[in-house]
Structure 1
Amino acid sequence: MHKILSTVLALALVTAAAVPAQADPATDARAAAPPDVTVAFAVYDRDSARTTLRFNEHQQIRSASIVKILIALDYFETYGATTPIPEADLALLVPMLRSSDDDAASELWVRLGWEKIVERAVVRLNLRDSAPPVNVGFWGYTALSAADVVTIYRHVLEDAPAPVRDFVMGNLSEATKCATDGFDQSFGIPSAVPGRVAFKQGWSRFGDVPPRPCVEPKPRRDLGASKDGPERAATPDLTRPAMHTTGTYGHKIMAVLTLEPEGTTWDESARRITALTGAVYLADRIIGG
């Protein structure tokens, strides 16, 4: 009997060694981007109230234009959710959310209190990883994480007053292909996720001029190019090119944040984050999300 048990145990050990460990869907999805690209992502299922896929979700990464959602939320906190929005402010809020208008964001950033916008959001939304920019003159230096982006969208969808939710998500669902500065913001979620999506993109350190003219729709306003500010090292990383895609589809919230090696072109980064977003979407589907 002892010999039989020993033989069975040996066979079991050989079989176990021959069978690869169960793959981690998040790790597999991360492999869609090269190792020298910093990757963080999270997918949240609102039906089950849980994060279904995550990788590096608490790493602080500079926000670029994702912070514009916080600027919009702070506007409504300041002026009220039901107060009619003046036409002059609509001309700032709408292109800021739909077309990532930098000058509109800068005007509201200054008016609403600079870094105080982020400080208030951290407390109000209980953001774990977010912090004001080290240089308050540059809103895109705000630190956040993929997990905090999910929290921001959850706040908009679940906790914000209905007029705020409808305004923010309504404009994100009408996001334009072309940003105000002429860059094509159709990378990531709008290209990789099927069906109707609402999205807010972010990018930084790709220069002031897009690699080619963006094909319609034409930018709504001509307010000049975005300025990234002085190049200096800090935490989070302020020097490497950043490209982020965030948004909603169905009952899901997705945030995919990346930092590229210095010198990466816009086209290469856009291809990478779109492939990565597709891999994240498929991995979440595979695990039953």
Structure 2
Amino acid sequence: MSSTALPATTARRGPRRLLVAAAAFLSLAFTGAALPHSAVAAPDRAGDTPSVAGTSAQVPVGVTAGIAVFDRQTGTFTEQLNPDATFRSASIVKLLLALDFLGNRSPDTIPAADRARLDAMLRSSDDNAANHYWATYGGPAIVDRMVTRLGLTDTVRPPAGYEGYWGYTAMSARDTVKTYRHILESTPAPVRDFVMDRLRGSTRCASDSFDQHFGIAGAFDRPWAVKQGWSGRYAKGTCGSGGTASGRADDTSPAASAATGATGVDLSRPALHTTGTVGPGDRSIVAVLTLHADGTSYGKAYTDLVRLTRSLNVPGGTAPKGKWYGTWGSDVAVRKDPAVGDNLLTRLPAGVEVLVGCQKKGQLVSVPPYTNDWWAYLPQYGGYVTNIYISHPDDRLPDVPLCTGQK
């Protein structure tokens, strides 16, 4: 760090130990409680996590993964890691709920209420919609019908005692690929287009206020279409202008009374899944199912899954331009402009890694002992965060260009 003096209004951030002394002051409206942060930039890929033999996948330490990437152009898998391992599906099973309902119906003729439910379930992972279809059309019998219809080999209804919890349906990465292939290659065109258009329109904030644009949505530029899944009690998951959803369990999952279900599927460790298609013409189908250590924060699981997905060989996928950096603090605001005001777009999951596209000077922000007027533009969020919350010791990030086209 240079010893060159700086103007008093842009004092360089001090040593990490100052953070502890100043924690009581970190209560500005644009952030929540602050946490110590690293003084190094996040690695471009999965850091020092090793690649697994036979695949380019770099699985972070403490993560259990089942992976399958299928290239529809060549008809071959480019990645397979534990492709037949079963995980509780969380919201991935919503694909099966939609296919079951649309099996003998045209999207053009279904009631308006069902169009609204399906739209919310597929775009925003709405649990109330899933509850409706599960309760109305047979619950576990839906899974049985889809296993037969799609030729699934690893998918199993929820275990005894959990029949009411659709998120405990067991699925594998290879069965997830089969599900997408069925949607793209076997369903009538109106059904295919209805489902895929909604997955292409995935909202960043899910209906339960979790940021669901992890994995595929973070690792690749559009075009992509995604159906994500999460299950378990993360420390925090943050999205939207409303703040933090804390201690939430997705997919109506109860606190499991046992570590595994009858089929050996883990029901307790936090699950985070990213599935969908990547590239023009839905060239690649990607399924990455993961479990994380108990107590893992949502921001860490989010970051680990994005890093893992970025390490994969996905034909047709294009990595977004920018530099990946860690962040610190909780409820860190992403704003439309590089200034504090009535311009909040969303809030970051605590400690999440973000892609910085460029940076510019804006309003001077003071979070004692830090003061900075540089702001980082996050292209995947379409807004700015003060550089104070980017994990780097300098006010201005050394390897990020100036913004020229942003407001």
* 1:43–1:284 CA contact under 8 A, matched in 2: no
Distance 2:309 2:165 in 1: 27
Which of 269, 275, 280 in structure 2 is aligned with 1:246? 275
1:245 partner SS = strand
Structure 1, unmatched stretches of 5+, are 1-22, 217-223
SS at match of 2:157: coil
User: Structure 1 residues 108 and 210 mapped into 2: Cα distance closer, same or farther (>3 Å)?
Assistant: farther
Q: Percent identity?
A: 44
Q: Tell me whether 1:202 sits opposite 2:229 in the alignment.
A: yes
| Cα distance in 2 for residues equivalent to 1:142 and 1:252 | 25
* Aligned-pair CA distance for 1:281: 3.9
Change over 3 Å in CA distance of 1:253–1:269 after alignment to 2: same
Number of equivalenced pairs = 252
Provide closer, same or farther for how the CA distance between residues 101 and 137 of structure 1 changes in structure 2, counting only shifts above 3 A: same
Q: Is the 8 A contact 2:60 2:308 kept in 1?
A: yes
Residue equivalent to 1:64? 90
Q: CA deviation at 1:195?
A: 2.6
| From 151, 157, 165, the counterpart of 2:178 | 151
1:200 counterpart SS class: strand
Q: Which moved further from structure 2: 232-241 or 89-98?
A: 232-241
Distance 1:204 1:225 in 2: 5
Distance 2:231 2:201 in 1: 22
Tell me the TM-score normalized by structure 2.
0.59
For 1:60 and 1:80, locate their aligned partners in 2 and report how far apart those are by CA, in whole Å: 30
**What residue is the counterpart of 1:75 in the other structure?**
101
Structure ranking higher on relative contact order (CA contacts 8 Å, 6+ apart): 1
Determine the C-alpha separation between the residues in 1 that align with 2:287 and 2:76: 14
Q: 1:200 to 1:262 in 2, by over 3 A?
A: same
2:308 to 269, 273, 276: 276
1:5-40 deviation per Cα after TM superposition (whole angstroms, max 9, x unaligned)? xxxxxxxxxxxxxxxxxx8665441x3411x21111
The alpha-carbon distance between structure 1 residues 283 and 85, as it changes in their structure 2 partners (threshold 3 A), is closer
Task: Write the mapping of 1:133-282 to structure 2, written as runs, cut at 5 A.
Answer: 133-134=158-159, 135-206=162-233, 210-215=236-241, 226-231=251-256, 232-233=258-259, 234=261, 235-250=264-279, 251-281=283-313
SS at match of 1:89: helix
Aligned counterparts of 1:87 and 1:228: Cα–Cα separation in 2? 28
Counterpart amino acid of 2:100?
Answer: D
Alignment partner, residue 245 of structure 2: none
| CA gap 1:160/1:109 in 2 versus in 1, 3 angstroms | same
CA contact (8 A) 1:52 1:284 kept: no
AA of the residue aligned to 1:67: V
* Counterpart-to-counterpart distance in 2, 1:82 and 1:95: 14
Amino acid at match of 2:123: R
1:193 Cα offset (Å): 1.4
Structure 2 residue corresponding to 1:42, chosen from 54, 58, 68: 68
Kindly provide the CA deviation profile for residues 232-284 of structure 1, in whole angstroms up to 9, marking residues without a partner as x.
23221010000000010121000001001111111100000000000014699
Contact 1:42 1:254 in 2 (8 A): yes
Q: Alpha-carbon deviations, 1:115-142, whole Å to 9, x = none? A: 0111011111110110001111000000
Please, what TM-score do these two structures have when normalized by structure 1? 0.82
C-alpha displacement at 1:206, in angstroms?
2.7
CA distance in 1: counterparts of 2:316 and 2:56, whole angstroms: 11
Q: Is the 8 A contact 1:26 1:283 kept in 2?
A: no
Distance 1:39 1:213 in 2: 25
Distance of 1:85 and 1:26 partners within structure 2 = 46
What is the correspondence of 1:23-38 to structure 2 with a 5 Å cutoff? 26-29=54-57, 31-34=58-61, 36-38=62-64
SS state at 1:44 partner = strand
> How much does 1:230 deviate?
3.5
Instruction: Give yes or no for the alignment of 1:53 onto 2:85.
Output: no
* Residue 123 (1) aligns with residue 125 (2): no
1:97 corresponds to? 122
| 2-structure distance, mates of 1:225, 1:238 | 13
Q: Could you list the runs of 4 or more consecutive aligned residues of structure 1 that deviate by over 2 angstroms after TM superposition?
A: 23-28, 209-216, 224-227, 281-285
Work out whether residues 178 and 215 of structure 1, in 8 Å CA contact, stay in contact via their aligned partners in 2.
no
Cα distance 1:57–1:157, how it changes in 2: closer, same or farther (>3 A)? same
Q: What stretches of structure 2 of length at least 5 have no aligned partner?
A: 1-50, 243-248, 318-407
CA deviations 1:83-135 (Å, max 9, x no partner) are 60211111210000000000110111111110011101111111011000111
Structure 2 distance, partners of 1:239, 1:40, is: 17
